Structure 1
């Protein structure tokens, strides 16, 4: 059953991706929509909850909410998209969706500090943006990050984010993932 709240969320998200999702994803070979769909598809294939699939789909929604050019990081501008996206989602979703969106950049910073070889695995645009986002975390920042209640979920979304940059990869359409968005917004469990 789709109530008025979730129908509105579907429409808002659909409209954002329709109007802005065709823009390039920060120097990568995919669009914002392709990146979002690939991340959500990876989450779904790994059996993630509807909240995590929604977070994977929406982790970069902040890029669709500002008017900065696609090459803003190349110009030395951090768009703070993780905070913009989390603020937009706050009235629509529970913390299980919000926190991985808000913390996916912090997760990159954490992994660069905590996991040998992670930095080398990043794409060039992701390395450029990392510098603007504060670079690898300090030891104290890493400890605080690990202590967070959503640490594992945030790291999962980050890893799907890193992998969701394959040009020409076929995924289910946005409408397929909107069922997870509805479930996450309502706090309903995913079907077995």
Structure 2
């Protein structure tokens, strides 16, 4: 096994990119920590807690955030970049939900008509460049994917993890969780 890059992950989540606004209210770091806390509070597995924590690591790697006052024209596929980055250290129970959390948003828009109305303005904006709601064929493919359940959970936590001022444990709180699900 390649050594788990805890120092590299900690550095990414302490970087300037992690301090930028994720959406209208909170930073990338705050968003990640809130997602992980929601997964923990739901009693989910360490793998899903890790996926919730790391689901947007691709944004930090790509440093792809576009200001809310700027026009968003491209999807840099942060979910794929993040899953690829994590793959040497984590199995599909972590990387699957990371890779599919954007698809899960598109899926939920297709299968739950009221879901779109719950999206933050930032999520609505990104949905447009991510392909919009899935087609019926895409829904079928998504539902058959073994990581779809975890991706939908991560997506729901993603939507709820945008609360300014919410107090949650820091990144170091999750180091043992990350170690516990790392590929041995």
One fold, TM greater than 0.5?
A: yes
User: Once the 2 structures are TM-superposed, how far is the Cα of residue 114 of structure 1 from its aligned partner?
Assistant: 0.3
- Conserved in 2, the CA contact under 8 Å of 1:104 and 1:155? yes
What secondary structure sits across from 1:5 in the alignment?
Answer: coil
State how far apart, in whole Å, the 2-side matches of 1:160 and 1:60 are. Answer: 12
Q: Which of 102, 123, 127 is matched with 2:124 structurally?
A: 127
1:177 — aligned with what? 174
Deviation at 1:184, TM superposition (A): 1.2
Write the mapping of 1:31-46 to structure 2, written as runs, cut at 5 A.
31-46=27-42
Structure 1 gaps, min length 5: 188-192
Q: Could you tell me how far apart the structure 2 residues matched to 1:69 and 1:173 are?
A: 22
Alpha-carbon contact 2:47-2:181 (below 8 Å) kept: yes
**Alignment coverage as a number of residue pairs:** 182
Q: Does 1:151 align with 2:148?
A: yes
Contact 1:24–1:70 under 8 Å retained in 2: no
SS in 2 for 1:55: helix
- Which of 102, 114, 118 is residue 115 of structure 2 equivalent to? 118
3-state SS of paired residue (2:105)? helix
Partner of 1:103, secondary structure, is helix
Kept in 1: contact 2:39–2:49 (CA 8 A): yes
Contact 1:107/1:158 (<8 A) preserved: yes
Name 1:54's counterpart in structure 2: 50
Q: CA separation in 1, counterparts of 2:71 and 2:58?
A: 18
Residue 3 (structure 2) aligns with? 5
Q: TM-score, normalised by structure 1?
A: 0.90
What are the ranges of 5 or more consecutive residues in structure 2 without an aligned counterpart?
Answer: none
Q: Secondary structure at the match of 1:142?
A: helix
Report the aligned-residue RMSD: 1.7
